[in-house]
Structure 1
Amino acid sequence: MSETDNNNAAEEAVEGGAPRRNFKKLIIIAVVLLLVGGGGFYYWRSRSAAATEATEETDAKPTKAATEKKSKAKKPVDDSEEEEEDSPPKKSGTLKSALPKDGDVKKVIELPPFIVNLADTDNARYLRMTVSLGVGGDDGSEKPDQLFMTRVRNAMLAVLSEKTSDEILTAEGKAKLRKELLKAAQAASDEPEVQAIYITDFIVQL
C-alpha cells in the first residue's frame, strides 16, 4: 500500500470518529439537562404543595372558628333557664327562719338598746342589740306598763349573757337567738302577749 493510501485511510478514520464523539457529548449534555430539570421540577412541586397546604390550613381555621361561633349562637335556650332568670329569687330556709311569724301582732314596742358582755372566755366581747316587741291583745292600743318592760328586758338579758360570739354571729345562730328571746319574753309576762321579736340592730365587738 502506498503512502497516499495510508493518509487517506487515516483521514477517513478521523472523520468517522468525530461524529461519534459529538454524539456522546450530546447524550451526556442531555442527561445532565434532564437531571437538572427533573431536580428543579421536583423542588418546585414540593414548594408548591407546601404552600397549598399552608393556605388550606389558614382558610380552615377561620372557618372552624366561625362554625363554633355560629353553633354557640344557635344554641337553644332552655325554658327552665329563662324562667329562673325571670322569676324572683326564692327565699332560702335560713332567711325564712329569720323572719318572725307576726300575723297576730297588733302593735310594735321598741325596747332600749341592750349592751351585754358575752360569755367568750378567750377575749372580752360585748353585744349591742336593739329589739322591738310585736304584741297582740284586743286592739293593741293599751300602753304596756313599766313592770312589763322591766320583766321582758330582765328575761332577755339572762339569755344574751349566756351566749358566745360564735353562737350568734351566724344566720342560724341569730334565728335561734330570736326564738329564745321570744320564749323568754312570753314567760316574763302574760299581758300584753308577746307575739314576735324583731331584731333591728345587732353589733358584736370582736
Structure 2
Amino acid sequence: MAKEKTAKLEEEQPETQQEKPKKKRKFSLIIIIAVVVLAVGAAGAYLLLVKGSTDKKGIITKDSKNTITVNFALEPFVVNLMDQSGSKYLKVSIQIELSDARLLESAKNKTPQIRDIIITLLTNKTSDELITPEGKLLLKDEIKQRINQILGDNSVVNVYLTDFVMQ
C-alpha cells in the first residue's frame, strides 16, 4: 500500500512541475502587459496635462515671468535660395511665440503679410549664410524684428525653427 501511494505521488509530481513553468510564463506575461499599459497611460496623461493646446495653430504656455504666451504655427515654407547655382531649396517650418494670447487673432488675420515678409527674407539668403548656427540665429532675429513691425513692438517673444531642410 505504501508503494502504491509513492507511485501515485511520483505520477502527480511531473504534472505539477510542468504546470509551474506555464503559470510562471502566464504570470510574467501579465506583468509585462500591465507595465506597458501603465507606461502608455502615463505618457498620455503627461501629453494631456503638460502640453495643453488651444487649437491646431496656438499653444498656450507660461514663460518664466508667469505671463501667458501663445505659440502660433505657420504653414511650412519652401523657397529657392539665392545661390550662384540657383538649385538650392529650403523647407522650413516656423512657430512664433507671441507675448500675449490676445495677439493670436491678430496674427491669424495678418498671416499673409507675415508669410510674405518671411518668404522675402528667406529668398534673399544663401545656403552658406543659413547652414551655420549663427546664421540660423540671425535669421530668427530678423524674422522676429520684421513680424514685430507688423504686429507691434514686443509682440513676438521668440521664433522657433521647427523643421529646417536644405537641399
Matches within 5 A, 1:152-163: 152-163=114-125
CA distance in 1, matches of 2:68, 2:77: 23
Q: 2:144 aligns with which of 175, 179, 182?
A: 182
Q: Which residue of 2 aligns with 1:202?
A: 164
How has the CA–CA distance of structure 1 residues 193 and 129 changed in structure 2, closer, same or farther, with 3 Å as cutoff?
Answer: same
Matches within 5 A, 1:159-178: 159-178=121-140
Q: Which residue of 2 aligns with 1:116?
A: 79
Higher strand share: 2
Larger Rg belongs to:
1
CA distance in 2, matches of 1:105, 1:160: 30
Instruction: Please state how far the C-alpha of 1:144 moved relative to its aligned partner.
Output: 1.9
Residues 118 and 162 of structure 1 are in contact (CA less than 8 Å); yes or no, is this contact kept in structure 2? yes
Matches within 5 A, 1:31-70: none
What stretches of structure 2 of length at least 5 have no aligned partner?
Answer: 1-62
How has the CA–CA distance of structure 1 residues 118 and 201 changed in structure 2, closer, same or farther, with 3 Å as cutoff?
Answer: same
1:133 aligns with 2:111: no
The percent identity for this pair of structures is 28
Instruction: Please state how far the C-alpha of 1:122 moved relative to its aligned partner.
Output: 2.0
How has the CA–CA distance of structure 1 residues 144 and 119 changed in structure 2, closer, same or farther, with 3 Å as cutoff?
Answer: same
Instruction: Please state how far the C-alpha of 1:176 moved relative to its aligned partner.
Output: 1.0
1:150 aligns with 2:112: yes
Alignment deviations for residues 50-72 of structure 1 (CA, whole Å, 9 cap, x no partner): xxxxxxxxxxxxxxxxxxxxxxx
What stretches of structure 1 of length at least 5 have no aligned partner?
Answer: 1-101
How has the CA–CA distance of structure 1 residues 119 and 198 changed in structure 2, closer, same or farther, with 3 Å as cutoff?
Answer: same
Instruction: Please state how far the C-alpha of 1:105 moved relative to its aligned partner.
Output: 6.0
Q: Indicate the RMSD between aligned Cα atoms, in angstroms.
A: 2.2
Instruction: Please state how far the C-alpha of 1:147 moved relative to its aligned partner.
Output: 3.0
Report SS of the residue matched to 1:144. Answer: helix
Report SS of the residue matched to 1:106. Answer: strand
Residues 132 and 200 of structure 1 are in contact (CA less than 8 Å); yes or no, is this contact kept in structure 2? yes
Q: Which residue of 2 aligns with 1:51?
A: none
How has the CA–CA distance of structure 1 residues 142 and 165 changed in structure 2, closer, same or farther, with 3 Å as cutoff?
Answer: closer
How has the CA–CA distance of structure 1 residues 105 and 199 changed in structure 2, closer, same or farther, with 3 Å as cutoff?
Answer: farther
After TM superposition, what 4+ stretches of structure 1 lie above 4 angstroms from structure 2? Answer: 102-105
Residues 130 and 200 of structure 1 are in contact (CA less than 8 Å); yes or no, is this contact kept in structure 2? yes
